[in-house]
């Protein structure tokens, strides 16, 4: 069965610092992987996705993630954090039954 | 144009009442979902419909009954509301297995 583990429920960085949000998955089939962002009192917005092809995927707002099959990881990074990046981030894997399984989420705080 | 729209955005009701949440998508997607997000932000799938047919039912109490009159609509009816039903409910839709899900803005249900 597929599952997603996000290491660190809270991450705090300084404005301008590197953002690294960790995601590990388990999947019995080639995974489709997603990162979503949720701003307060809003729905989920897609940041980026990996389906097939290039393992380094670029998303919106300067975020990118690298699919590493050997490490079963799909960590999200951004070179320089901005105050507006403060939000909840969710990693997700799609199962063979077309079900989207989410990690527990990581709250990113950005301080001046 | 809102891709996935839910109504109402907020719903406050007493225990024991029956309430419905409506969801509509104008993306032409075949698959729609209901997710529940608890107070710790954990997202759990409840139901999935594909072209009006129930595909996934994740051991949700039978007080919850989804209804899909057509593939653009997936409504959620909840009978005999309980305090534990308080959460944010998200509707989502997707075109296929390797595509992202689009989420509505959520319905914050508070049972008092």
Using a CB-CB cut-off of 8 Å, the residues of chain A touching B101 are 34, 44, 46, 100
Residues 54-83 of A with CB under 8 A from B: none
Average pLDDT (B58-75) is 92
Using a CB-CB cut-off of 8 Å, the residues of chain B touching A34 are 100-101
Give dist(CA B83, CA A108) in Å, integer.
Answer: 29
Q: Give the per-residue pLDDT at B56.
A: 82
Half-sphere exposure of A10 (CA within 13 A, CB side): 4
B43 interfaces chain A, CB cutoff of 8 Å: yes
Instruction: Say if strands B10-13 and B4-7 run parallel, antiparallel, or are unpaired.
Output: unpaired
Q: How confident is the model at residue B54 (pLDDT cuts 50, 70, 90)?
A: confident
CB A111 within 8 A of CB A15: yes
The answer on pLDDT for A4 being more than 90 is yes
A26-47 pLDDT, tens digit each:
987 788 999 999 998 889 999 9
Residue B52 is encoded by which pair of tokens?
A: 């009006």
The answer on pLDDT for A19 being more than 90 is yes
User: Which residue do the tokens 């508070």 mark?
Assistant: B110
Average pLDDT (B62-88) is 95
Q: Give the per-residue pLDDT at B97.
A: 72
Closest to B97 (Cβ–Cβ): which among A36, A42, A98? Answer: A98
Using a CB-CB cut-off of 8 Å, the residues of chain A touching B45 are 99-101
A48-93 pLDDT, tens digit each:
999 888 899 999 999 999 999 999 999 999 999 999 999 999 999 9
The answer on pLDDT for A95 being more than 90 is no
| DSSP for B51-84, written as a single string | TTEEEEE-S--TTEEEEEEETTEEEEEE-S--GG
B101 interfaces chain A, CB cutoff of 8 Å: yes
B101-110 pLDDT, tens digit each:
999 999 999 9
Using a CB-CB cut-off of 8 Å, the residues of chain A touching B42 are 102, 104-105
The answer on pLDDT for B51 being more than 90 is no
Our separate counts of H helices and E strands in chain B read 0, 11
Q: Give the per-residue pLDDT at B21.
A: 98
Q: Give the per-residue pLDDT at B1.
A: 65
| Residue % of chain B over a pLDDT of 70 | 99
CB A68 within 8 A of CB A93: no
| Residue % of chain B over a pLDDT of 90 | 82
Average pLDDT (A12-36) is 93
Check CB contact under 8 Å for A98 and B41.
no
């Amino acid at each position: 069965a597929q599952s997603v583990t996000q290491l660190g429920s809270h991450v705090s960085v300084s404005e301008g610092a590197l953002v690294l949000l960790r995601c590990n998955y388990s999947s019995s089939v080639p995974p489709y992987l997603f990162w979503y962002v949720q701003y307060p009192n809003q729905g989920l917005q897609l940041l980026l996705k990996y389906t097939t092809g290039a393992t380094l995927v670029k998303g919106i707002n300067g975020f990118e993630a690298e699919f590493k099959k050997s490490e079963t990881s799909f960590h999200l990074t951004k070179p320089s954090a901005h105050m507006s990046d403060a939000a909840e981030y969710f990693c997700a894997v799609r199962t063979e039954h077309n079900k989207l399984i989410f990690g527990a989420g990581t709250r990113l705080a950005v301080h001046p | 144009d809102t891709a996935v729209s839910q109504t109402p955005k907020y719903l406050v009701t007493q225990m024991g009442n029956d309430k419905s949440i409506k969801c509509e998508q104008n993306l032409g997607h075949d698959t729609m979902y209901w997710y529940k997000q608890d107070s710790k932000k954990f997202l759990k799938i409840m139901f999935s419909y594909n072209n009006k047919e129930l595909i996934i039912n994740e051991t949700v109490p039978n007080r919850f009954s989804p209804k899909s009159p057509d593939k653009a609509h997936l409504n959620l009816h909840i009978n005999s509301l309980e305090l534990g039903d308080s959460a944010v409910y998200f509707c989502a839709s997707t075109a296929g297995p390797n595509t992202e899900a689009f989420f509505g803005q959520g319905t914050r249900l508070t049972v008092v």
